Chain A
Amino acid sequence: MPEDRTAVVDDSSRMLEKALRDLSMQYYSLDRCHQCGICTEACPHTNLRKAERFSPRVFIQKARLGLIDLAGGELWRCTTCGSCLQVCPYEVPLVDIIVSLRNLVFEQGAGYVPPSFKAVLASLAASGNPWREDPDKRADWFEELAPQGESRPEAPEILLFAGCFPSYDRRGRSIARAAVQILREAGIGFDILGNEEKCCGDSALKIGDMKTFERLRKANLEAFSGRHAERIYTLAPHCSHVMKTRYAFGRDNGTAAKPFLLLLHELVVEGRLPLGEVKRARAVFHDPCYLGKYEGITEEPREILARIPGLETAEMAHHGKRSLCCGAGGGGFWLDTLKGERLAEIRLDEAVEAGADLLVTACPYCLAMFEASRASDNRWAGLEILDIGELVLRSLSDKPGM
């Protein structure tokens, strides 16, 4: 086929451009971009060593000319991490643009959708979790932990929203169990949604499947409505973020969803958790995007680490709001990405370069990405990966007399 050198876009491109503009409801947002490229340098994909990389700048240039190849995979590479939003001088809402375009593709069948997404979304719609797991076994992790006959408090102080990975996955359940043990140690009365809990919908939303998202949102809101749920703490910052921005509760009854990390921080700072010495380790903290970049929470996890005796801390080259994504966001968790092209590998390398033997994070999805990549190569074998709750629990249990 001869090379296309037309400068003016054809009709189909114009239709796509128009659809995108209408959908994004940000008519001028595309044109605000000056193609300065500051986003490309901030984008985690730029750190991958491969020839064809996702570039936010190029994506926008193509989008406003209607030249996105919807039959290709480019649209699905963005993890919605928000690095570009941190630096863009013109505040171009790239993540909104991407999600709008995905929504268009998804709902109108207008292009390629990664096959792995389809199964996940079907499962989310049918079972409320991404793995076709039995909804009635969602709270098994908790039942196994609860001493027989213990009744739930009538007026719990908080509601713990576990999320899918901590509810079903073997590795993930350790995060959920740690949270419960910490709450018990601190004497916090809490409740969970149990089997009524469904996926928060973050993945469905960021993939562009609004119908599934709405279904999950409604189911969770209904479950919340029957509980004392003014203070909701979620183990994944994705869950609290989507609740805060999309669940539209809190307007009348003051309900608020926050990352569990904030409660953990509160308990540690108030001295309600007697932290004991842990095995010597040099720890780095990986800032999850929906915690650091979206919520601006970067100091609190470091304050927790600083209070754990025996721990030495360091920083990775990218940290705080300039942290790089693990690759899980925006549906990335469900993509089959080849070894050598995974964003998580960049973080593992940075952790090793910082001389760390312990990589701590505060998002179950970051943890899962790191665990999966670590197993793929020997050079990360010396690195232990923990959720910050697991680490705090370790600091509690290793204490003499416990």
Chain B
Amino acid sequence: MTGLKAALTLDEFEIPSVIVEKSGELGGKVRGYGKTFPDFRSGRALVSGLVKRVDSTGMIRVLRNCTVSGIRTEGDHYRVRLSDGTSLDAHAVILAFGFEPFDATRQEEYGYGVCPNVIAAPELEALLDPLGPTKGRLLRPSDGKPVRKAAIIFCVGSRSKRTDSPYCSRICCSYSTKQAIEIKESDPDAQVVCFYMDIRTYGRGFEEMHQYAREIGVKYIRGRVSECCALPDGDILVRAENTLLGKPVQGVFDLVSLSVGMTPSPDTSSLAEMLGIELGTDGFFISADGGLSPHDTGREGIFLAGAVTGLKPIRDCILEGTSAGGRAAAYLRRRRA
């Protein structure tokens, strides 16, 4: 989303650009979101709207299944070496390659990767997607049984020094609440229990969505889950402390979804090294001037946008793509003068 938005903004300044896309399709992770929060619009539709505009302008070249293997300065521009052996010249480079979901196998006690009915949020997203593998029916992986009792465990790979991710990933409370609403709306008799530490639905419309979830009967239990155990029939036993009551609680669920946080994209460190730009202790890029120039780096003409500088909801990524495009346009204009 961020990169598309940046390219389209450059297009408005009549500046030609090339999008280097690692996968076979544009749109990044948002392409896989059946619905986005807080307004439940289709992520796929958001992406296809932008892709249509990218395709219709003659100014944007798109290279799919393509990665950057090297960048060096050559005269007054950068020479970008590509994975297909070719190279291209650019006066400015915008890094907008997003993030990577936390690898839930790293939190062994939840049994992800061992118990088939413990899934991670992106998989739940696919199961809830009307165009997904189950056509939007929530069927659990082990035996295809419709899910009547679901648990969602918040803060998996976020706010934990133990997994080297002490930061809040910002979007998990909201996307999980959105998913809980989808489960509940498609089957009002289904039980959905969210185990959380704090609810951080901080954006416009996010908290209202959270309140709506409670109103339609999504249960929130304050307590971080210590363990999930698979029972012989595939059900999952979840144990936690209800810290508001000060009581240990446990429940048996058909399905457990882990609200995984966001981690830096695996490409971050190699690009940081290639370009000599700074990383924070959290592994994300740091922008220049202590954040006063949010898109700038220590390297002239190299700009940052979106989740590469930390975690953001889609809305902020759209904003960042737009402003990074504008920042790059201003840079190029001044350079020409």
Residues of A in contact with B (beta carbons under 8 Å apart): 34-42, 46, 55, 57-58, 87-91, 322
Question: Contacts A34-B198, A87-B226 known; A57 to B243 CB distance under 8 Å?
Answer: yes
Q: Are A55 and B227 in contact (CB under 8 A)?
A: no
Q: How far is the CA of A88 from the CA of B239 in the complex (A)?
A: 15
Contact partner of A34 (CB less than 8 A), chosen from B159, B225, B239, is B159
Q: Contact flags (1/0) for B156-176 with A, using CB distance below 8 Å?
A: 000111110010000000000
Task: Give the docked Cα–Cα distance between A322 and B226 (Å).
Answer: 10
Residues of B within 8 A of A38 (CB): 223-226, 240-241
Q: How far is the CB of A218 from chain B (nearest CB, A)?
A: 36
B206-229 interface with A by 8 A CB criterion: 222-227
Most A CB within 10 A of own CB, among B197, B224, B239: B224
Q: Which residues of A contact B155 (CB under 8 A)?
A: 36, 89
Give the contacting residue for A37; candidates B159, B160, B166, B223; CB below 8 A: B223
Cβ–Cβ contact B161 & A41, under 8 A: no
| Minimal Cβ-Cβ distance residue in A for B221 | A37
Taken together as a complex, chains A and B put the C-alpha atoms of A90 and B162 apart, in Å, by: 7
9 interchain residue pairs of minimum CB distance:
A37-B241, A41-B226, A89-B160, A36-B224, A40-B241, A37-B243, A38-B224, A37-B223, A36-B197
Give the shortest distance, in Å, between B235 (CB) and chain A (any CB). Answer: 16
29 contacts between A and B (CB under 8 A): A34-B197, A35-B243, A36-B155, A36-B223, A37-B223, A37-B224, A37-B241, A38-B223, A38-B240, A38-B241, A41-B227, A41-B239, A41-B240, A42-B226, A55-B241, A57-B243, A58-B246, A87-B109, A87-B162, A88-B162, A89-B160, A89-B163, A89-B224, A90-B159, A90-B161, A90-B166, A91-B161, A91-B162, A322-B109
A89 close to B159 (CB less than 8 A): yes
**Closest CB in chain B relative to A374 CB, distance in Å:** 26
Residues from chain B with a CB closer than 8 A to the CB of A322 are 109, 227
Closest to B248 in A: A46
A35: chain B residues within 8 A (beta carbon):
243
Q: How far is the CB of B285 from chain A (nearest CB, A)?
A: 25
What residues of chain B lie closer than 8 Å to A87, measured between beta carbons?
109, 162, 226
Residue of A whose beta carbon sits closest to that of B161: A91
Knowing A88-B162, A89-B161, A91-B162 touch, does A46 contact B241 (C-beta < 8 A)? yes
Quote the shortest CB–CB distance from A319 to chain B (angstroms).
12
Whether B161 and A37, one on each chain, are in contact in the complex, defined by CB atoms closer than 8 angstroms, is no
